Amino acid sequence: MHARVTAILVARNGAKHLERTLAALNGQTRQPDVVITVDCGSTDATAALLAAYGPTHFISADSDLTFGEAIAAAVRVTAPPESDGEMLWLLAQDSAPEPGALGALLGELEIAPSVAVAGPKVMDWHARDYIHQFGQSMTPGGATVTLVESELDQGQHDGMSDVLAVSAGGMLVRHSVWQRLGGFDPALPSADDSLDFCVRVRMAGYRVSVVAASRIASAGDGVAGPSGSSRGRARRKRVRAVRAAQLHRRLVYSPRWMIPVHWLGLVPLAVFRSVGQLLQKEPGAVVGEFSAAFAAAFSGIRVSAARRRFAATRTLGWGSIASLRVSSGEVRRRHALKREASLTGARGDRPEIRFFSGGGAWTVIAAAVAGVAILAPLLGARTLTGGGLLPLSGTPAELWAGVGYGWRDIGLGFVGAADPFAAVLAILGSLTFWSPSFALVLLYFLALPLSALGAWLAASRLSHRASIRAVAAALWLLAPTFLSALAAGRPAAILVHLLLPWLFFAGYAAARSWSASASAALLFAAIVACAPSLAPALLVAWLVSILASGRAVMRYLGIPLPAVALAAPLVWDQGLRGNWLALLADPGAPVPSAGVSVWQLMLGFPTGELGGWTPLLEMLGLPGVHASILVPVLLIPLALLAVASLFLPGARGASFSFLAVLLGLGTAVASTHLLLASIGSQSVSIWPGAGLSVAWIGLVGAVVFALRSMRRFSIAPAVSTVIALVIVAAPLVAALPLGTSVVQEGTDRTQPAFVAAAARTDARVGTLQIVPQPDGGILATIVRGDGATLDDQSTLSSTGGAISASERDLATLAGNLASRSGLDAASGLADFGIRFVLLRPAAVVPTGPGSAASVSSAALETAGRSTTALDGDAALVAVGDTAFGRLWRHDAQPVAGAIGEIPRHAAGPLGLIFALVTAIVIGATVLLSIPAGAGPEAVRQANRDAIRHSVRAGARTKKADARELKRAARAKVSVVADAEPDAGPDPATGSRPDAADDEGSEPDAGASAEESPAERPAEESPAERPAEEGPAEEGPADSAAEPTTPQEEDDGAK
């Protein structure tokens, strides 16, 4: 009996590919008997092309029709099947069959009556030798598996026959079977529609086969099956559709008693799989994972209808298709291959860093040796004190308890947000869990080698040359702002300087790596936590990166999210106060500093005295030598190199470096004018060193661009710059050995031993600390337990403006204690839970590096008066002088409900919400930052893109070869023409004999558009090009989407 074929072609805005498909359909050796075209609301030329083709039926449908629904609409206009010889051929706008495709498919169904569905070998649209898809199956868990995908077709799979399923595009199905099974499941709009249909075909007792002789090209437009586009939005939509289809099929195929189990596990499984998606670097799939889970959970009607259809036609059990499913062993093998491919894809053509062979290890070792020599006085220390250094809490549990929103046990205590810096300190302290305060000692000793390591790696993004990387490391660790932070005891500023190169290192690669993007987000959050004043500058840099990122914009958009999550509780509290600028205040212990002029900031010094040069020259008594002249002169080589980068190859990258310089200097200058915190009578400005670190990294980047462009002539400028900077930094380098640094070995407590002993039995024993101020006033603070810790400090306390009634009462009590009065202090001490009074040494007047600290006469007078008054107070018993000041004891027990007691459930629901949001954001970012290769979807898409790129490259090669042949032919013709004598003009006509032939003949193809070799300007060969005029190298912003390390001459360190 003669088979009758009805071809159904579905199109939606597919004019780009439809023309080739229609031509291919028209060129079939076995023409379909009926052609039905369905236009799904196209707005381009699709409808016109379909109408011009002259189909048997032309259907205009809605744009939101799925492929299955469009096929159903076309089937409704056909007569019911009268025999098994009537076939439906399902095609999409991008399904271009080869001439014998339909004949081969039809032959399979004619010779095997048990075969109800036959599928072609789906080839790549652009590369006809590559298999796009060939056969489908399922894992034991129900996941879809494409049997053959993105492979070069060498006939290796032509022996395949029976399969579980075939793809929808190009499928030939018996009309009667389609009618009996009801077509595609309406609940599967794109993904797995053909897989589900073929499973039902199999379970109804029929066979499904692939036909290797039938070939159809597919472009992956997304009409039949999910879109194959590599765009982020299309990929996320595809992943969501595939997961939703898998969950739907699971609920349809499962036994009735298993449905509640699957339903209850939908959301927990989504959480578990989301962790896997983050580890596989597919963050865009997380939203789709939950969306698919909720869609499946609340699709009862669709699931019920699909189960009824399945049960109505099912005649076989699941065991009948067990041999056609992919076994667990095969699944493991495929996963192993994907992991290998993902790791290969993650490595890609990433340039080698050559840390050991390129001199990086020696650079870090040299910095470590220098660090030990400089910090020799601190060897053996367990904790540090001085400046902003304080001990940390005694255990990691106490450190982490102070993170987030809750009770802040500082002063009188209050409920509020912790500074994000507390999380950084908790991480640091947990590294040395046996003694958290020792982490700060390690930070000091590792500061120089870590700064050298970070700068060396950051420079590796810009240069292959080992010498340039070493110079960058030297310039970075000799930065005056870094050495000033070490001498002044500012741990937050030290961390900022250490982390900035790593932020550049990760951010530079973020365009091509989710792992690098997440690492940059964590580093961004840590830097903003240590120096909130850098947030505006970093946000500007982030916006510039977004503008330069191209298609990689999604990898940059989320970089600030962890910082926002960490700062959200503090933003909430400061916002309620209306004190928005206080968000920029430096975290940690407030440290007053001497003023510094703008010109010294421009030289890189965050404090006055030019980094100690002014007092050093005064001490040496060198006549005619002024620090204000010597230091700028020594910095001239550095400045000249940086400016020269703007006029050398690679100037575009250098311009971005100077943007960082401007942002950093602007931040530093603005910081000195923002007096946001206070300690007693002294206002505390933002430390300008953090902004100068940003400026310095831009300066070092500009120097790297200059040196790599100077090539062989870079040695002398580099050496002179480093030597000059060593001289400039000498006073700061020697600050600790010479005793001009405030940093020294400390103890694990900040309270006298007598108080610490009492704190062992009463963890919240109160001590009133009185500090005489330079203006003659006093600073009164209540300290609980064995003393203040660095992680307890809060900018909510140091930037607080309004004074509460309790604080006024405390000020009155402290004032009366520090002066002779008739007030009975016993009741006041009991109300505040105070058992000890400590008169600390008078506060010093801030000075620059190298200058001796001084105490004002007013402070000394206040200290003497306070000592006399406290000795004469009957409510106090003198304990004596201690290393922390003079101590008195109050023997009465505190009253119940004393001011400052910790309330129950201090954090409340708000603290829980903030904690959950922060944990989710930071946890997801950490998972994403773990390098684990590319995800399976990324690998699959990379394979497809590689195929297309190879095809384009081959096409370009063919065109180039054709042009060369034409040039050779023209050259040959010109040589022959030159060899023939000129016949001269015809005496009769005055024209040359060949003029008529030239006018009447066709010109040589392409000859008119091409210049002859003599007319074409000669091109310089690479050997003739001067070395100093090498190709301009791209900077970080030149290739944001695909950052590559510039190709340069190596120093021989291989």
**Which H or E run includes 761?**
helix 753-761
Q: Comparing C-alpha atoms, which of 389, 490, 368, 402 is closest to residue 438?
A: 389
Tell me which amino acid residue 1048 is: E
**Which H or E run includes 783?**
strand 778-784
Q: What is the pLDDT of residue 564?
A: 96
Q: Which range has the top average pLDDT, 124-128, 387-391, 495-499, 645-649?
A: 495-499
pLDDT band, residue 485 (cuts 50/70/90)? very high
Q: Residue 185 in 3-state DSSP? A: coil
Q: Is the pLDDT of residue 566 over 60?
A: yes
Q: 408 near 415, Cβ under 8 Å?
A: yes
Provide the strand spans (E) within 852-973. Answer: 877-882, 885-889
Q: What is the pLDDT of residue 992?
A: 40
Mean pLDDT of 506-525: 93
Q: Which range has the top average pLDDT, 172-176, 235-239, 906-910, 984-988?
A: 172-176
**What SS3 string covers 574-643?**
HHHHCCHHHHHCCCCCCCCCCCCCHHHHHCCCCCCHHHHHHHHHHHHCCCCCCHHHHHHHHCHHHHHHHH
Give the position of tokens 């290739």: 1039
- % of residues, the chain, pLDDT over 90: 47
Q: What is the pTM of this model?
A: 0.83
pLDDT band, residue 940 (cuts 50/70/90)? low
| Calculated CA dihedral for residues 428, 434, 436, 439, nearest 10 degrees | -60
Q: Which of 319-328, 775-784, 1025-1034 has the lowest mean pLDDT?
A: 1025-1034
Q: What is the pLDDT of residue 936?
A: 57
Q: Which residue has the higher pLDDT, 997 or 13?
A: 13
Whether the CA torsion 663, 665, 668, 669 is positive or negative: it is negative
pLDDT band, residue 990 (cuts 50/70/90)? very low
pLDDT tens digits for range 923-932: 999 999 988 7
Q: What is the pLDDT of residue 948?
A: 61
pLDDT band, residue 206 (cuts 50/70/90)? very high
Q: What is the pLDDT of residue 1018?
A: 36
CA–CA dist 260, 652 (Å, integer): 61
Q: What is the pLDDT of residue 895?
A: 65
Q: Is the pLDDT of residue 1002 over 50?
A: no
CA–CA dist 720, 366 (Å, integer): 19
Q: Which residue has the higher pLDDT, 336 or 794?
A: 794
pLDDT band, residue 866 (cuts 50/70/90)? very high
Q: Is the pLDDT of residue 461 over 80?
A: yes
- 678 DSSP β-pair partners: 683
CA–CA dist 1028, 116 (Å, integer): 71
Q: What is the pLDDT of residue 975?
A: 46
Q: Which residue has the higher pLDDT, 1048 or 639?
A: 639
Q: Is the pLDDT of residue 660 over 90?
A: yes
CA–CA dist 206, 112 (Å, integer): 10
Mean pLDDT of 601-629: 84
Q: 603 near 725, Cβ under 8 Å?
A: no
State the chain's maximal CA–CA distance in angstroms. 140
pLDDT tens digits for range 13-29: 888 899 999 999 999 99
pLDDT band, residue 299 (cuts 50/70/90)? confident
Whether the CA torsion 728, 731, 734, 736 is positive or negative: it is negative
pLDDT tens digits for range 263-274: 888 889 999 988
pLDDT band, residue 490 (cuts 50/70/90)? very high
Mean pLDDT of 582-593: 93
Q: What is the pLDDT of residue 129?
A: 86
Mean pLDDT for the chain? Answer: 84
CA–CA dist 167, 119 (Å, integer): 7
Q: Is the pLDDT of residue 341 over 80?
A: no
CA–CA dist 1027, 432 (Å, integer): 52
Q: Is the pLDDT of residue 676 over 60?
A: yes
pLDDT band, residue 1015 (cuts 50/70/90)? very low
Domain 4-326: which CATH class? alpha beta
Q: Which of 490-499, 524-533, 869-878, 1026-1035 has the lowest mean pLDDT?
A: 1026-1035
pLDDT band, residue 988 (cuts 50/70/90)? very low
Q: What is the pLDDT of residue 938?
A: 57
CA–CA dist 393, 418 (Å, integer): 15
pLDDT tens digits for range 821-846: 767 788 888 888 899 999 999 988 77
Q: What is the pLDDT of residue 892?
A: 76
Q: Which residue has the higher pLDDT, 1014 or 468?
A: 468
Q: Is the pLDDT of residue 137 over 50?
A: yes
Q: Is the pLDDT of residue 8 over 50?
A: yes
Q: Which residue has the higher pLDDT, 1050 or 420?
A: 420
Q: Which residue has the higher pLDDT, 256 or 978?
A: 256
Q: Comparing C-alpha atoms, which of 254, 255, 267 is closest to residue 295?
A: 267
pLDDT band, residue 899 (cuts 50/70/90)? confident
As annotated, the residues of the chain forming the CATH 3.90.550.10 domain(s) are 4-326
206: Cβ contacts below 8 Å, ≥ 6 apart = 114, 115, 116, 117, 177
Q: What is the pLDDT of residue 344?
A: 58
Q: What is the pLDDT of residue 190?
A: 82
Crossing angle, helix 266-279 and helix 908-929, to 10 degrees?
50
**Within 13 A of 208's CA, how many CA atoms are on the CB side?**
29
**Which H or E run includes 280?**
none
